[in-house]
Amino acid sequence: MHQVRVWDLPIRLFHWALVSAVALSFYTMKTGGAPFVFPVEIHGRAGLVVLGLLLFRWGWALGGSRHARLWHFLHGPGAIVDYLRALRRGPLPPYAGHNPLGGLAVLAMLVSLSVQAVSGLFLSDDIFFQAPLHDRVPADVSDTLRTLHHWNAQLLIVLIVLHLVALVVHRLKGERLVGAMVTGRKQLPARPADLAVEGTDPVRGSPWLAAVLLLVAVGVVGWLWWQL
């Protein structure tokens, strides 16, 4: 068994905070929203938290730790087809970070979540809630973004269900990915294809970059939050 450090603390915090904020966003819109008196306001604030998390994650995807980087977890079509073939045959080829198919799914989720959070900034519920940038665009633009917000939410639900199904498939094939997203360490049956040179620490990103991204995310979200 190979034990590999894969997910750094920023990725793990990002993931579980994202799950909580996205769940709250859906809960407040898809149910009566009890016990909140004004669920749409909680919805907007949860959405702003999602936006802040995504600002951090996009920056970290460009310059963060090894397995967080976009060009590390995005693979070409050939690798994806090979991975799909292996999936049918039996044991999964071990990957430390996201596997070729998972990388694509992660990109789809990050893009869809970003579209959702940004489009939300221009909406109003036509009753008493106006998102921070609603008045900065003409009414027809806001209406188009509302349609986008509605349909992209359905796409997001599909992507999240696929994400959860994929985790179950991995578990059935012996890979415990959820534990890795909690502890940061993955147990793999063999040396993974995407591991850095043995003996080096593949995890560390720059603490300075993390601090700058955190400042930017808090600054942008703080400014929008203050206008709600």
Residues that bind ligand HEM (CB under 6 A): 11, 14-15, 18-19, 22-23, 25-26, 29-30, 40, 43-44, 47-48, 50-51, 57, 68, 98, 102, 106, 109-110, 113, 116-117, 120-121, 123-125, 129, 131, 146, 149-150, 153, 156, 160, 163, 167, 177-178, 180-181
DSSP 6-62: ---HHHHHHHHHHHHHHHHHHHHHHS--TT-SSHHHHHHHHHHHHHHHHHHHHHHHH
Nearer to ligand HEM, 55 or 121 (CB): 121
Query: Which CB, 184 or 212, lies closer to ligand HEM?
Result: 184
Shortest approach of ligand HEM to residue 168 CB, angstroms? 9
The minimum distance between CB 192 and ligand HEM, in angstroms, equals 11
CB of 77 to ligand HEM, least distance (A): 19
CB of 164 to ligand HEM, least distance (A): 6
Residue at token pair 């070729």: 100
| Rounded distance between C-alpha atoms, residue 18 and residue 51, angstroms | 9
When the beta carbons of 105 and 212 are compared against ligand HEM, the nearer one is 105
Minimum distance of ligand HEM from residue 115's CB (angstroms): 9
* β-pair partners for 2: 188
Least distance (Å) between residue 114 CB and ligand HEM: 8
The widest CA-to-CA distance across the chain, in whole angstroms, is 59
The half-sphere exposure of 150 on its side-chain side, counting CA atoms within 13 A, is 8
Q: Residue 53, class by beta-carbon neighbours within 10 Å (0-12 exposed, 13-18 middle, 19+ buried)? A: buried
Decide whether 81 or 150 has the Cβ nearer to ligand HEM: 150
In terms of CB distance, is 15 or 212 closer to ligand HEM?
A: 15
Amino acid at 54: L
Nearer to ligand HEM, 126 or 198 (CB): 126
Map residue 4 onto helix, strand or coil.
strand
Q: Are 138 and 91 in contact (CB under 8 A)?
A: no
